[in-house]
Amino acid sequence: MNVVVVRTVEEARKHLALRRPEEKRIGFVPTMGALHAGHASLIENARSGSDFVAVSIFVNPLQFGPGEDYLRYPRPLEKDLDVCERMGADLVFAPAVGEMYPVEQRTFVEVTRLGDHLCGPFRPGHFRGVTTVVAKLFGIVQPNRAWFGEKDYQQLCIIRKMVQDLNLPVEIVPVPIYREKDGLALSSRNAYLDSEDRSVAPVLFRALTTARGMIETGERKAAVVKEWAKRVLTQQERVRPEYFEIVDPIELQPVDEIAGEVRIAGAIWVGKTRLIDNLAASPR
Ligand code: AMP
């Protein structure tokens, strides 16, 4: 293996210090592992946009709520290292929980307002856990650029805002959503779907594309678009919609009248699995 795997903050810092002569652009891809083609495309983008690529693999307990899937989240480390190697990563930082949180964490990063809608209300504390761990990882890796997927669009916006507000010297680069042929966005959580769940899961993408189609063909009332999308979602018995929302693409506030570019985002439960997805749409 060419990729170097480190488990401690000290080793990561040492290794990065050796590789940080001035001209080196350090690229960073933070993940929770169980890597799939979506993650691979982030690493690929980082590979072409930087000289040295660090990937972190860390299932961050701080971003999971009570009763969520922290314990059963897949952790196939050996396979993940193969993906990193294959995609040309230089360094994998895969710390244990005790390495990231050796003492009680009493400092938290919280971006206000952007977490008020979409996933925020359904996952209290989630984004605070994400921003806190990403701030810590940025402190350890000190990347020049970091790649984030549009799959987690709200997370991407929140991290951008954190970087702006805290003057962190890192450029955030968005990567388009990687999908299966039937439209299902790749996610580590797709591994939870049994074959029946899997066959209905693309309904979220269908609802999003229906909504986008309506917007592009002149519908301006968000309520009308959402109503139709919910009809699509509730056609499937195994599917329980959690939210389906149309927001402005920066502040993530719900819009009533669609006048410019919007983000359409939804979350559904398929059996015991929660799936999210989103699309951009603009009136023609
Ligand atoms: P996770 O391991 O779920 O925390 O995701 C790590 C990074 O991969 C995040 O920036 C995600 O947005 C991104 N990601 C996950 N799934 C996809 C996908 N299907 N397409 C593009 N990026 C993705």
Q: pLDDT, tens digit, for every residue of 134-188?
A: 999 999 999 999 999 999 999 999 999 999 999 999 999 999 999 999 999 999 9
Residue 133 clears pLDDT 90, i.e. is over it: yes
Main-chain phi, psi angles of 260, to 5 degrees: -140, -160
Q: Supply the pTM of this predicted model.
A: 0.98
d(CA 55, CA 32): 10
- Compute the average pLDDT of residues 56-62: 98
- Catalytic hit among 15, 36, 39, 126: 39
145 close to 168: Cβ distance less than 8 angstroms: no
Known catalytic residue: 39? yes
Residue 150 has a pLDDT of 98
pLDDT digits (tens, 9 = 90+) for 177-217: 999 999 999 999 999 999 999 999 999 999 999 999 999 99
- E strands, the chain, where? 4-6, 26-31, 52-57, 91-93, 145-149, 171-175, 239-247, 262-270, 273-281
Ligand 1 atom having least distance to the Cα of 148: 10
Question: Rounded to the nearest whole angstrom, what is the distance from the C-alpha of residue 4 to the centroid of ligand 1?
Answer: 22
Strand order in the sheet with 4-6: 4-6, 91-93, 52-57, 26-31, 145-149, 171-175
List the residue whose alpha carbon is closest to atom 14 of ligand 1: 149
pLDDT digits (tens, 9 = 90+) for 202-257: 999 999 999 999 999 999 999 999 999 999 999 999 999 999 999 999 999 999 99
**28, 31, 68: which to mutate for ligand 1, most atoms within 8 A of CB?**
31
Question: Rounded to the nearest whole angstrom, what is the distance from the C-alpha of residue 66 to the centroid of ligand 1?
Answer: 22
- DSSP letter string, 57-77: E---GGG--TTSSTTTS---H
